[in-house]
Structure 1
Amino acid sequence: MFQFHVAPAGDDSWPGSVERPFATLERARSAAREAAGDVVVQLRGGIHTLTRPFELTSADSGRDGHRIVYQAYGYGTPAQEEAVVSGGRLITGWREQDGAWTADVGDLDTRQLYVDGRRADRAAIEGLPGEVSTTETGYVTDSAGPREWRSPGDVEFVYRGVYPWTEARCGVATVSAVSPGEGPTEITMAQPAFGWAMELYAATWEGQTTRGPGLPTSIENDPSFLTEPGTFVLDRSRPGRHVLRYLPRPGEDPASTRVVAPVLETLLSAVGTRDVSFRGLVFAEATWLRPSRPEGFLHYHGSGYYEGGGVEVAVVGEGASVTYPAASATVPACVRFEDPAGVEIEGCRFTRLGASGLGVSGGDGLVVRGCDFDTLSAAGVTISGGAGALIEDNRVRHIGLEYAGSPGITATGTRGCTIAHNEISDVPHCGIVVGPSEGARILRNLTVNTMQVLADGGGVYVSGPQGDSWESQGLVEGNVIKDVKTAYNFGLYTDYGASWLTVEANVVMRADNTAVLQVAPPLENVVYRGNFWDADPVGHDGPPSGVTYEGNVTYKDERELNAASAAVQDRAGLLRPRP
């Protein structure tokens, strides 16, 4: 077996030994390509700052039955070191001005900031002041307040709950007086985002039709908003001479506080890589800049967003309909694999990232085990296509911090994917989402405090066909779903034409609704058997023809429910509890 070492204080002209390590992952990658047999690349503790994404191709695969491993030094032992792969930039040169810290940062562009490892929010205000009306290009308000914004082109409107499951973001183009003097203010929104929003968000309900995103629920990123300690603003009004402003919290000192702005959008990109492992690494500090562009972020559902191309209409009841994208894009991940085979990701942490943590498309035999996903702007894990993936014993929490529709774990278009023994907590929308797939198995997961921000979802959400026969069916078994927060949710939610699916021996408690059997399009070939509830599912007393409902038990008393379902609850959640 070959071993190479990489350290922040190393040198790429050295041989990569423990005494004389390489400085960069690129140098270690080159050495691994030249070695025969098993290869282990040991990353010493410290911050391994990337200046460009670390890229792997099929040439970086294990060969002839051997494996290439990138791991933290001492992995799996009490002496394991913390090796952080970072796409961030340390901000220095602070000067104090009117109680805030100010730094000239050149052409730096970012949407996030981390202060001693803590995520700082962008400075924001709640909604537009004054009496406001919507126009085809933006808004008119009788307040002069928006004319006091110092960098209007950096301002972003946030629309929470356009649909109950949706949160959109659109930038401002200009702010001006309608006429000279102190009269009304016209806000022109950036295009094409606002035009797309007028196209995408159209609904009819009880004879009333709405169009467009409505009024913003909050407004972000102007120096005039900087009033809350621990928040920041990036002023890009002068091209190439951007200014970062941060309002410190009590006790923070610019001479000793570590402030990092994520710069890279991708930390790791692997295409066609086989038989490679990543163990015990921390992936941190990356951003995603697309929502700051004129296209904005026109969210629809889960990790999907609209990029134009037309909409379609879904009828969801008599006289009720919503529009939805004819095609959607997916929020990217900061660590990405395309068509992997035999790739293992074990014991890693994904944190302080401005998009999703881990994204995988296609491939075969992926294993993601024992990882932590936290402090993410979007989803934890997103799997699209591929066969035989195992997502097991991972902890996902505090995600969707910027894109609140993001699920903890998502799989769609997969074959034989298993999502088992994961713990998902404190997330803004769904815990686990499985779209149309074949033979997906959602087993013995624990979700707690899901649906904290948006509505119409659940701790576990399954939609579309899950096979084409009972032999290829999907299975949702042994999961425990607790504390599904927002009004209008279903703890265990089979939706939108789910079919060829068995839902068995799950526990749901403290949800707005435990489950629903009557949806549009209707459920077909779905079995609900032996589940434990604290309330009867919607439609339990008259299941539709496509649903078999048998042996399920409702306990109104929580103590009785816990006693009856103790065996299920004991088996759900992490295999190896972590602090």
Structure 2
Amino acid sequence: MFQFHVAPSGDDSGPGSAERPFATIERARAAARAATGDVVVQLRGGTHTLTRPFELTEADSGVVYQAYGYGTSEQEEAVVSGGRPITGWRERDGVWAADVGDLDTRQLYVDGRRAERAAIPGLPGEVSMTETGYVTDSAGPREWRSPGDVEFVYRGVYPWTEARCGVATVSPSGDGATVITMVQPAFGWAMELYAATWEGQTTHGPGLPTSIENDPSFLTEPGTFVLDRSRPGRHVLLYLPRPGEDPERTRVVAPVLETLLSAVGARDVSFRGLVFAEATWLRPSRPEGFLHYHGSGYYEGGGVEVAVIGEGASVTYPAASASIPSSVRFEDPAGVKIEGCRFTRLGSSALGVSGGEGLVVRGCDFDTLSAVGVTVSGGVGAVIEDNRVRRIGLEYSGSPGITVTGTRSCTIAHNEITDVPHCGIVVGPSEGVRVLRNLTVDTMKVLADGGGVYLSGPQGDSWENQGLVQGNVIKDTRTAYNFGLYTDYGAAWLTVEANVVMRADNTSVLHVGPPLENVVYRGNFWDADPVGHDDPPSGVTYEGNVTYKDEHDLNAATAAIRERAGLLRPRS
């Protein structure tokens, strides 16, 4: 077996030995390709800064990339970063400013903490929406110093939806009002996409923003930042420090790369104990904005369709949609293992896998993410096990912790998902997915119409390849209008048994559209009866489920299930 070592203080002209390590993982990749037999690349502690995405192909098969000392008490923290340290701060009126050239980013990290973009709660004054933007009787927006950098956030356009559109111009009108013209095509797409009828009332367009981000005049809260791009190529980063922070001692990192790792066709590659950190996603800052619909999907034009959700009720939805990309991406992998890694401080989704077979994601931590933790689409035999997902969806609030769709024989087991803005686990149309003994707590904290565990569409085409949801514990599903365990939109060929659901707006629901078919609810424990339990539809078998209104009684009856749910190996 060959071993190559990489250290931030190394030298790529050296042999890559423990005594004379390489400086970059790219050089180690080249050495691994030239070697015969098994190869382990040991990354020493420190920050391994990428200047371009790290790319792997089938030519890189059979290599292990791991933190030095992996699996021992001597394991070092090796961070693979797409960030850039910000220095050269000058201070004026309590605000730090740094000239950053053509740097473009949507996130900032200060001593490892995610700084929020400076924001105000909404538009001031009496406001009306037009086909191209807004009119307000307030002169406040005319005080914005860099209107072209300002972004409107629309939380809850639909209860499960959040959008982001940029401002083009702010100008006075002849009658003293202020006219805000929004960037196209984003605002036009928003007017097209968001149209709903409910209880005789029809809404059109995104409505008024719930918050407004990224102007220097918004810098009032310590620990927030603004990127001023009003002068092309001469951008200025502004940061309002928290008490005790010093520009000479505080480490500030702006993510630059959008992709950290991209692997196409990799075979039998492993990643162990590494930290993937500091990447951004710039698409929402562009004229197309971010027109979210559900989960990690967003609209890129191309027309909409209408879904009737009840008598006199309908919503529009995208005829086609794209998905938020991931900072670490695998396409058609085989036998890839990602174990004991941490994904943090990322401006998109963390880990995305499409196609392939035999994927293992085990013992990893996902935290401080703008979007989804783990996304798997297609593929056979993926195992997502013993991972901890928390504080995700910080910028794109529809993001679930773990989402899979179009997969066969995928297992999602013993994961702990906490503090997320929407669903904990999402399973789209698939075959034979097993959702086993997971723990979700504090899900649905921002947007509505989801659950701790959410499934939609067929989960097989017979009982032989059915889906199984078993032994999960779902607690504290927060936002009103949720179903802790939610089988939705034509879920079929599915058994839901021996799960525990407590402290949700609704524990579950049996009547959905399109209706459930060949679904069994058996031996589950609730603290409130599911919606429709007293009159199950013809496609649902509902048997042996127990409701305990008293939490003490529920806990006593479900102790064995609760003890087995969640992480296999507790972590600090």
Distance in 1 between residues matched to 2:492 and 2:300, nearest whole Å:
29
Tell me whether 1:160 sits opposite 2:150 in the alignment: no
State the match for 1:65 in structure 2.
Answer: none
**AA of the residue aligned to 1:50:** L
Task: Extract unaligned runs of 5+ from structure 1.
Answer: 63-67
How far 1:36 sits from its partner (Å)?
1.2
State the match for 2:38 in structure 1.
Answer: 38
Distance in 1 between residues matched to 2:278 and 2:294, nearest whole Å:
25
Tell me whether 1:85 sits opposite 2:80 in the alignment: yes
How far 1:113 sits from its partner (Å)?
0.2
Deviations 1:479-502 (A, max 9, x none): 000000011100000000100000
State the match for 1:446 in structure 2.
Answer: 439
**AA of the residue aligned to 1:132:** V
Residue 172 (structure 2) aligned to one of 166, 174, 177:
177
**AA of the residue aligned to 2:542:** Y
Distance in 2 between residues matched to 1:548 and 1:204, nearest whole Å:
33
Q: How does 1:68-467 map to 2 (within 5 A)?
A: 68-179=63-174, 183-467=176-460
State the match for 1:561 in structure 2.
Answer: 554
How far 1:158 sits from its partner (Å)?
0.2
Task: Extract unaligned runs of 5+ from structure 2.
Answer: none
How far 1:193 sits from its partner (Å)?
0.4
Distance in 2 between residues matched to 1:150 and 1:260, nearest whole Å:
24
Tell me whether 1:14 sits opposite 2:7 in the alignment: no
Distance in 1 between residues matched to 2:311 and 2:513, nearest whole Å:
11
How far 1:415 sits from its partner (Å)?
0.6
Q: Alignment partner of 2:429: what SS?
A: coil
Residue 542 (structure 2) aligned to one of 549, 560, 565:
549
How far 1:35 sits from its partner (Å)?
1.1
How far 1:179 sits from its partner (Å)?
2.0
**AA of the residue aligned to 1:9:** S
| Alignment TM-score, normalising by the size of structure 1 | 0.98
Distance in 1 between residues matched to 2:560 and 2:392, nearest whole Å:
29
Distance in 2 between residues matched to 1:538 and 1:478, nearest whole Å:
21
Distance in 1 between residues matched to 2:65 and 2:80, nearest whole Å:
11
How far 1:388 sits from its partner (Å)?
0.4
**AA of the residue aligned to 1:16:** G
Distance in 2 between residues matched to 1:560 and 1:532, nearest whole Å:
11
Count of equivalent residues: 572
Distance in 2 between residues matched to 1:535 and 1:37, nearest whole Å:
58
Deviations 1:102-158 (A, max 9, x none): 000000000000000000000000110000011000000011110110000000000
State the match for 1:27 in structure 2.
Answer: 27
Distance in 2 between residues matched to 1:98 and 1:190, nearest whole Å:
32
**AA of the residue aligned to 2:510:** L
State the match for 1:530 in structure 2.
Answer: 523
Deviations 1:209-238 (A, max 9, x none): 111000000000000000000000000000
How far 1:11 sits from its partner (Å)?
0.6
Percent sequence identity over aligned pairs: 88
State the match for 1:54 in structure 2.
Answer: 54
How far 1:178 sits from its partner (Å)?
1.2
Deviations 1:264-291 (A, max 9, x none): 0000000000000000000000000000
Distance in 1 between residues matched to 2:58 and 2:178, nearest whole Å:
56
Cα RMSD after superposing both structures? 0.5
**AA of the residue aligned to 1:253:** D
| Alignment TM-score, normalising by the size of structure 2 | 1.00
Distance in 2 between residues matched to 1:473 and 1:266, nearest whole Å:
35
Distance in 1 between residues matched to 2:241 and 2:140, nearest whole Å:
25
Distance in 2 between residues matched to 1:556 and 1:433, nearest whole Å:
27
Residue 483 (structure 2) aligned to one of 485, 490, 494:
490
Distance in 2 between residues matched to 1:453 and 1:317, nearest whole Å:
25
Distance in 1 between residues matched to 2:405 and 2:43, nearest whole Å:
33
